[in-house]
Amino acid sequence: MRALTATALTLAALLCSPGSAATARRQEAAAPKPDPHKIEKLAENVYCIFGEGGNIGLIVTEHNAILIDDQFAPLVPGLLKIVKTVTDKPIKYLVNTHHHGDHVGGNLALEHQVQTIVAHTNVRHHLEVEQAKLEPAKRGGLPEITFGDHDPKVRSVLAIYLDGVEVHLAHFGPGHTDGDVLVGLPGTHVMHMGDIFFNGLTPYIDLSSGGSVAGMIANLDAVLAFLPEDSKVIPGHGPVGGKKDVARARDFLKAVQKHVEANPAKTGKELDASFDHKAWSEVHDLAPFLSWDKFFDIAAGRGDKK
């Protein structure tokens, strides 16, 4: 018994030694991260996929599938794996809601696994400009079908009819960027709004790409004018919401706009300090890369333009 006890103590000492602890840390660091993707069914054959980055939409038709956004390239294998939990049908269309990397970073990895990438004209333009800075091997995944005008103020709609399913792609003007696309399914009252709608989060607005608070409000107003009360809305970030959540996001931006216009000389820090944050606790979480100072500077139309 004493021999067994001594052996056990020796093993315990070895396991607790600094070298063993370092080995354990290396093994933990080398262990693959769990797949972040989760899927939520919103209607018959319509899903939202959550992961790291912008929310993804999935529409399954009789013979095909449509994917809306694709997050980051390293996540594509996990994305395709979770898609296969609901369908083995080929992805006919990949729709890009705008050009930011957390929504289109998987384009290059997916371009040979989907039939066609679809986006607003300005999305392709932004991606072309960005890819011109890269080595040729890292270029690709550009939208092959584009719609809309280079002037983002021109409204445009593209209707897709696939296996009896009607899908509307709409651009209502610059908002988050100058190439935002909203994806609606009239038959199921589901809409993917991309980064025009941040649910429960203070939105990021890309001034350098033509975005503005006024443009975001105009887009949200346009959607609220026709959105059915029972709609399910996929935001660019945050949980799936409904019409009241879209209205709340719009009203928050209107309050921010009013506050900024009433205090034109104040800095972002001063605007933050004097804003009634308590009244908007439901949309009070900041996007991880934003500070309140920066948010109010952007809302005032400064601090983010190239």
pTM: 0.88
User: Are 82 and 39 a contacting pair, CB within 8 Å?
Assistant: yes
The residue among 109, 98, 105 whose CA lies nearest residue 198 is 98
> If we measure between CA atoms, which residue out of 14, 25, 18, 60 comes closest to residue 39?
60
Query: φ and ψ at 149, to 5 degrees?
Result: -105, 155
Residue 118: pLDDT band with limits 50, 70, 90: very high
User: What is 38-299's CATH topology?
Assistant: Metallo-beta-lactamase; Chain A (3.60.15)
Q: What is the pLDDT of residues 254-299, one digit of tens each?
A: 999 999 999 999 999 999 999 999 999 888 888 777 899 999 999 9
pLDDT tens digits for range 150-167: 999 999 999 999 999 999
CA–CA distance, 178 with 99 (Å, rounded to integer): 10
Place of tokens 């990895």: 109
Does 137 or 161 have the greater pLDDT score?
161
Point out which residues pair with 95 in neighbouring strands: 68, 118
Q: Coil, strand or helix: which one is 133?
A: coil
Find out whether 133 and 127 touch, Cβ atoms under 8 Å: no
- Calculate the dihedral angle through the C-alpha atoms of 262, 297, 304, 107, rounding to the nearest 10 degrees: -100
User: Which sequence spans correspond to the domains of the chain?
Assistant: 38-299
* Opening angle at CA 217, ends 124 and 40, nearest 5: 70
Q: Is the pLDDT of residue 25 over 60?
A: no
Q: Which of 28, 94, 5 is nearest to 58 (CA)?
A: 94
Mean pLDDT of the chain: 90
pLDDT of residue 54 exceeding 90, the answer is yes
Instruction: Quote the percentage of the chain above a pLDDT of 90.
Output: 83
- 39, 86 Cβ separation under 8 angstroms: yes
| Position 77, amino acid | P
What pLDDT is stored for residue 98 in this prediction?
98
